[in-house]
């Protein structure tokens, strides 16, 4: 019996990795929502306005994590940049954050090298209606 090894397409592997990283962001959303629930219970027990800071920040983070997870799974360039930045920051949260951060950095870097994210943004229109240069005001080009 012979065993043949099937090589997977790197773009398929990268797409699966981005699905997993997007799922990690969904889990972070759940964690932020639970933190907000704890903050609201603290507010109900003490009834001070300063106790609303934790749930407010947690709800903003939950919304951000959910939005990034959704768009990262759809290979948006800005979500890739946010995920990489979050991975770098989460490395400082030893030991669990370090593992999550290293996984996300490696997955995002692999997906970028595999080419699943767009490499260029949309080209701007050739002529901008706001700014026009007169021919005599344009600097000369060196030949």
Q: How far is CA 29 from the centre of its chain?
A: 13
Cα separation, 82 vs 64, whole angstroms? 10
As a whole number, mean pLDDT of residues 74-95 equals 94
As a whole number, mean pLDDT of residues 21-31 equals 96
pLDDT tens sequence across 99-140 = 999 999 999 999 999 999 987 666 666 655 566 555 665 555
How many CA within 13 A on the CB side of residue 105? 13
Three-state DSSP at 40 gives helix
pLDDT at 140: 59
Neighbours of 122 (CB within 10 A): 6
pLDDT at 6: 84
Q: Which residue ranges make up each domain of the chain?
A: 10-116
pLDDT at 3: 84
Please calculate the CA angle 28-16-120 and round it to the nearest 5 degrees. Answer: 90
Q: Of 31-45, 82-96, 103-117, 120-134, which gets the smallest average pLDDT?
A: 120-134
pLDDT at 51: 87
Is the overall model pTM greater than 0.85, yes or no? no
Three-state DSSP at 123 gives coil
As a whole number, mean pLDDT of residues 67-86 equals 95
pLDDT at 125: 60
Cα separation, 23 vs 15, whole angstroms? 12
């Amino acid at each position: 019996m012979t065993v043949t090894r099937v090589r997977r397409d790197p773009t398929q592997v990268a797409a699966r990795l981005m699905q997993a990283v997007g799922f990690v962001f969904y889990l972070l959303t759940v964690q932020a929502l639970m933190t907000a629930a704890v903050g609201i219970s603290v507010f109900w027990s003490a009834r001070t306005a300063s106790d609303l800071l934790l749930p407010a920040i947690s709800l903003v983070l939950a919304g951000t994590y959910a939005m990034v997870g959704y768009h990262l799974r759809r290979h948006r360039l800005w979500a890739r940049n946010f995920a990489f930045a979050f991975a770098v920051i989460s490395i400082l949260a030893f030991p669990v954050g370090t593992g999550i951060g290293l996984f996300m950095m490696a997955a995002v870097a692999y997906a970028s090298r595999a080419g699943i994210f767009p490499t260029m943004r949309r080209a701007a229109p050739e002529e901008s209606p706001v700014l026009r240069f007169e021919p005599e005001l344009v600097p000369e080009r060196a030949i």
